[in-house]
Each structure stands twice: as structure tokens, then as C-alpha cells.
């Protein structure tokens, strides 16, 4: 919470108003809506208890992502076929310094992938890369995916047409999100190589779909099955324009 305090207001005086920002996340849109309504009731109840008033300002919203397994498999096949980028000795030295500087937490992402492997051989293969500064292997295909706790408006797209996503290495192993380490490697050659790798995979998969229309038909069929005939229900209320705070 942050209070809006004039410069000449003593700290022991109750401020005229305060603001608090909540970001609500859940696996499904319906769950987010339920939690959102509950948070609103809590705020309104607190206002009644303190004999104050509350103003609720809806800022933004996005839907849960429905990954299409048909498209995901096409992307995975091309990840394997094209192969990971090659790195120079200088790049690997820089990657080693960044990765080791993170500490033991750099192994968490690899261990998470291994935990979700369906058989022991695949799990062992993933864990064999533990300690590497840059991951150059393609993780086993997992059609159910690993739960991500991020937010993306790609989720809204996935409710309107078949969608799948990939992740490629653009930074040293274990680089924390939103960190100075990420900033340090953000414009490096290793980041650019990872982006080009992803672009090639996407382009190759698009060509595959154009040359084999059956892929598109299968993806559409899965989309219809996943949505169960439900139409897209935008999470942003009518009349609200999402904005950056």
C-alpha cells in the first residue's frame, strides 16, 4: 500500500486517502472472477468498518492460455530438427560467470522440467545437463505443459484461434527474471541467437502448416474440443480501456 502524503503533513497524522494495487491470478478466468469479486467485498467491508469510502478502479485483465497440442508438437519437431545455436568461447565464459553468480537457485528451472518428465530416462537426460552454463538441449515433449504463473494477452488470442508457444534459451542457465543479470545479457549475442532460433522454428512450423493443411484442420478440431463450444468472454468489462499504470 502507498499513501498519498503531502510534503508538509506529519507522519503521525491519518492521511486523507491511500491506494493499494492488486494483481489477481488463477488457472482459469472463472476463478479469477470469483476471487476478484471477493476482494471487492473485502475492500467494501473494510470501508464500512472504518466509516470511509472505497473506489474500485479496474486497470487490465487477460484470459488463461489454452495451448494447442497439435501446433505445440509441430513447434517441438522443428526445435529438434533445427538444433540449438552455437556459442563462442567468449560467450560461454560470460554465460558461466552470470550463471554461477546466481548460486544454487540456477538449477530450479531444470529441476522443474525434470520433475514433469513422464519417464525416468527423459528425467535423467534432463538432469544430465545440470551445471551447464547455457542449455543447448530440447526438453522432452510435454503436451500438458508446465504451469506458468505469468500473465499474457496471448491467452485471449488462444480463446479465439489455436495457439501454442515455445521457449528458447536467450540467457545463461538460471538467470532470474526481472534481475540485473537479465538486463546484462539482454542485448548480448546469446540473446540474439536465441531469438533467431525461435524465429526459425516459428517460420518452419508455419511452412509445415501451409504445405500440410491437415495440421490446421487437426488444430481446429482440438480447439473446438477444448473450448467445448464456449464462446470467448473478454475479462475486461465493457467500457473499460486497459492502461499502463
- Give pLDDT tens digits for 40-58: 999 999 999 999 999 999 9
What's the CA gap between 127 and 131, in Å, rounded? 9
DSSP string, 73-141: HHHHHHHHHH-PPP--HHHHHHHHHHHHHH-GGGGHHHHHHHHT-SSHHHHHHHHTTTT-SS--SPPPP
Higher pLDDT, 211 or 228: 211
* Whether the Cβ atoms of residue 136 and residue 121 lie closer than 8 Å to each other: no
Phi, psi of 152 (to 5 degrees): -155, 140
146, pLDDT greater than 90: no
1, pLDDT greater than 70: no
pLDDT of residue 12: 82
Burial class (CB in 10 A: 0-12, 13-18, 19+), 6: exposed
DSSP string, 34-45: HHHHHHHHHHHH
Amino acid at each position: 500500500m502507498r499513501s498519498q502524503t503531502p510534503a508538509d503533513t506529519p507522519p503521525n497524522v491519518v492521511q486523507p486517502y491511500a491506494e493499494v494495487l492488486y494483481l489477481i491470478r488463477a488457472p482459469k478466468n472463472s476463478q479469477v472472477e470469483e476471487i476478484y469479486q471477493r476482494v471487492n467485498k473485502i475492500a467494501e467491508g473494510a470501508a464500512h468498518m472504518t466509516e470511509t469510502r472505497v473506489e474500485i478502479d479496474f486497470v487490465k485483465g487477460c484470459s488463461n492460455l489454452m495451448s494447442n497440442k497439435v501446433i505445440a508438437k509441430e513447434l517441438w519437431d522443428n526445435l529438434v530438427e533445427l538444433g540449438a545455436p552455437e556459442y563462442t568461447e567468449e560467450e560461454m565464459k560470460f554465460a558461466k560467470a552470470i550463471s554461477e553468480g546466481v548460486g544454487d537457485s540456477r538449477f530450479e528451472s531444470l529441476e522443474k522440467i525434470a520433475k514433469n518428465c513422464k519417464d525416468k530416462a527423459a528425467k535423467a537426460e534432463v538432469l544430465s545437463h545440470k551445471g551447464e552454463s547455457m542449455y543447448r538441449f530440447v526438453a522432452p515433449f510435454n503436451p500438458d505443459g508446465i504451469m506458468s504463473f505469468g500473465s499474457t494477452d496471448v491467452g485471449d488470442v488462444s480463446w479465439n484461434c489455436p495457439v501454442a508457444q515455445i521457449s528458447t534459451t536467450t540467457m545463461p542457465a538460471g538467470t532470474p527474471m526481472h534481475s540485473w543479470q537479465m538486463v546484462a545479457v539482454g542485448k548480448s549475442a546469446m540473446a540474439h541467437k536465441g531469438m533467431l532460433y525461435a524465429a526459425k522454428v516459428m517460420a518452419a512450423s508455419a511452412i509445415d502448416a501451409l504445405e500440410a493443411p491437415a495440421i490446421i484442420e487437426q488444430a481446429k478440431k482440438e480447439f473446438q474440443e477444448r473450448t467445448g463450444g464456449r464462446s470467448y468472454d473478454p475479462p475486461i468489462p465493457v467500457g473499460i480501456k486497459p492502461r499502463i499504470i
